Structure 1
């Protein structure tokens, strides 16, 4: 029976624990492993302290047979990863002459002499293999001890990732040959909460291959489908069967897959239908326009937006009737309707969007609570107005309203294209 790879990543650096830098290596290592059918089961971070690093290694070696350490192999005295691994294994450090020559050559090619402290980077853990680092002075190291495979990699991302891809993963594929590949596909939902989705997919969550996992997002939620297969196509086919079932249950709420965003999908649908768009925003304060203008090429379909925060701007720039504002208020179905129709007419676009609401934290009432937002979509087939009450902070309410409005536009465009509503 072939042994399974049970891998762990340990990030070394006090700066990580202080929050001064993001532990992005955790994501990078996990993604690269998963792309090769291997898995990271644990992540840890520890500061530049010899005894604590040794403690972490002792714990990791008791549950994992692959340990990838990133950081702490530089030239300074607080670069302790080499020392800690040697102490953990109970072996000595010894000078690796070839690595020393490579480091000296690195500096010589740049017209500089090697500082004495860089000699530390040529210290090899007894029994280890040095891993070349073509983009920096710190060579990595690989050592196997007691059935555990240790990889020491540098901290700078532009040095670490190439070494991970060239030195670590090929070795692990030889050590742990696997006939399976791993493929994931993520479905993006809007207009429905995670708990509502979860209660309708209990039968799918129990599957071991493919697996289905709900993921929370801000103003939306995601379902990740992951499958293993003998080939990439086998895994894709397994995912397709589950995806088809999910789409049967949630078709109106699924707007995209994988890296697609609401604004990118809206742009694509508008472009396909040769339709244009304008936006009138009150409570979202230009957030929808900002999201749209972040999409390359959106100028093909997006004419512009009006941030109509004050009632005078709603009247003068959008043509909202004074009687509407006086009788129903700025936060109302009627005002949202006239805002969307007004921006559509004045900017001469096929579709117009609008938002008006109470983002808080103050300004709410029993009739119009904080989080109340009216959103409207005006188009060739008329105007639809939607009412929602969003929870969260001011920024959360604004972002959720912006996303929900774009989702409503996508629903309108999808129906216009003849898709099942």
Structure 2
């Protein structure tokens, strides 16, 4: 079965907001066995939305539309879809009363007139509840096609999409696996995948790059045993490069490994500005292995908190493997952890030199009594360098786990 995704909103077409809904929906639909035909972004325009509805329904069985369900004059999606289908809109007074009451409790003032837009209901549609907001979604069938209208804010969109799955006609049951790789390029992974899958029928795949980790392959098939055999062949060929076969993020795999080996971790950061701690704390329940982190931006804080020697700083500079070494040792000592990670570098855009240019990052990984140090050169804007520095030291920890430490 085929699906299409239509994203609406002036804020997206003008570059004010970066879309994340398209990727989420496409990956979700692919995992369910749909073949996603298109992802199209249009402004809040009746003409453009109607045109893309017509185009999408000419080639897809399912159309998902996001955005335009708010309370302002440009929230026109529901009305546009209703007009296209020739259906009336009615006013749900009971739902509006609930919206009014909620608004009054939250803001202690009368609700604006625009709130009534969110109480409109399309003829012959199913209302999809929104546990994360006030804009309900809609599910509607037209001939042999299905349309789902979802709110634009990602958290609300995901919540309403889960409700929509109760009504969407799904393809024949499909099984899927998501394999994540480190230290391989997307072309290497794709070439091997294409060659291997030429020996199997009924297995589909898509590759994508997780920007701060590596390429992933999403495999799907109706025969689970075939899929398991494909995964076995992947592991046989790329075992040392695969960090997941079930779609987890790298940081989730690292935290899982720490738990399995009963290890604790702490971090010391400079140029990454807390990004490494943020990655670790994005994993629910990580407090059982993550003791804490220090952002030691100045030399003084490196010396006072992490006990980095003044001699190392004066001889080698803050951005050096020697200082990264002492930072990793210092955070392990300070928090009493088995593992210590450190990152120090020049994130830019200023502060670089010929000897130590912008993007130069030194890091260290301490496990038990052993410390490994590294030097990398990253390109990009300041935030990109910070995120790459943080994610790279996690890759190094995973690699050390796999190669040498605590892995049976």
TM-score after normalising by structure 2 = 0.75
In 2, the alpha carbon distance for the partners of 1:197 and 1:31 equals 18
> Does structure 1 residue 417 correspond to structure 2 residue 374?
no
What residue number does 1:38 align with?
34
CA deviation map 1:309-329 (0-9, x unaligned) = 222333333232333223222
Shift of 1:362: 2.8
Q: Distance in 2 between matches of 1:191 and 1:354?
A: 21
2:330 matched residue in structure 1: 342
| Contact 1:184 1:227 survives alignment (8 Å) | yes
Q: Any residues of structure 2 matched to 1:210-289 within 5 Å, and which?
A: 210-229=203-222, 234-235=223-224, 237-289=225-277
Are residue 319 (structure 1) and residue 307 (structure 2) matched? yes
Deviation at 1:388, TM superposition (A): 1.9
Identify the residue that residue 145 of structure 2 maps to in structure 1: 149
Moved more, 194-203 or 371-380: 194-203
> What is the aligned partner in structure 1 of residue 346 from structure 2?
358
Q: Mapping of 1:148-167 within 5 angstroms?
A: 149=145, 151=147, 153=149, 155=151, 161=161, 164-167=164-167
Structure 1 residues 397 and 63: CA distance shift in structure 2, 3 A: same
Aligned to 1:131: 125
- The structure-2 alpha-carbon separation of the partners of 1:370 and 1:62, relative to structure 1 and needing over 3 Å to count, comes to same
Q: 1:165 to 1:20 in 2, by over 3 A?
A: farther
- Deviation sequence 1:8-42 (CA, Å, 0-9, x none): 34456656645677767656765665455333322
- Is residue 328–residue 334 contact of structure 1 (8 Å, CA) maintained in 2? yes
- The alignment covers a number of residue pairs equal to 379
Q: Secondary structure at the match of 1:80?
A: helix
Matches within 5 A, 1:15-414: 17=13, 26=22, 30=26, 33-34=29-30, 36-47=32-43, 49-64=45-60, 66-67=62-63, 78=76, 79-86=79-86, 103=92, 130-133=124-127, 135=129, 141-144=140-143, 149=145, 151=147, 153=149, 155=151, 161=161, 164-167=164-167, 169=168, 172=169, 180-195=172-187, 197-198=189-190, 201=193, 203-204=195-196, 209-229=202-222, 234-235=223-224, 237-414=225-402
CA distance in 1, matches of 2:67, 2:344: 49
Contact 1:50 / 1:83 at 8 angstroms: preserved in 2? Answer: no
Distance 2:242 2:148 in 1: 42
Change (3 A) 1:329 1:139: closer
Q: In the alignment, is the contact (CA less than 8 A) between 1:373 and 1:389 conserved in 2? A: yes
Work out the CA distance in 2 between the residues paired with 1:198 and 1:249.
13
Taking the aligned partners of 1:238 and 1:387, their CA distance within structure 2 comes to: 42
Offset of residue 405 of structure 1: 1.0
Structure 1 residues 8, 384: closer, same or farther in 2, change over 3 A? closer
Could you tell me which residue of structure 2 aligns to residue 90 of structure 1? none
TM-score, normalising length: structure 1: 0.73
- Between stretches 30-39 and 372-381, larger displacement belongs to 30-39
Q: Is the Cα–Cα contact under 8 Å of residues 153 and 163 in structure 1 kept in the other structure? A: no
Cα-Cα RMSD:
4.0
**Structure 1 portions without partners, runs of 5+:** 87-92, 125-129
Q: 1:315 to 1:239 in 2, by over 3 A?
A: same
Segment drifting more, 362-371 vs 59-68? 59-68
For the residue of structure 2 that corresponds to 1:142, the secondary structure is strand
Cα 1:283/1:197, change in 2 over 3 Å: farther
Residues in 2 aligned to 1:272 and 1:61: alpha-carbon distance in whole angstroms: 49
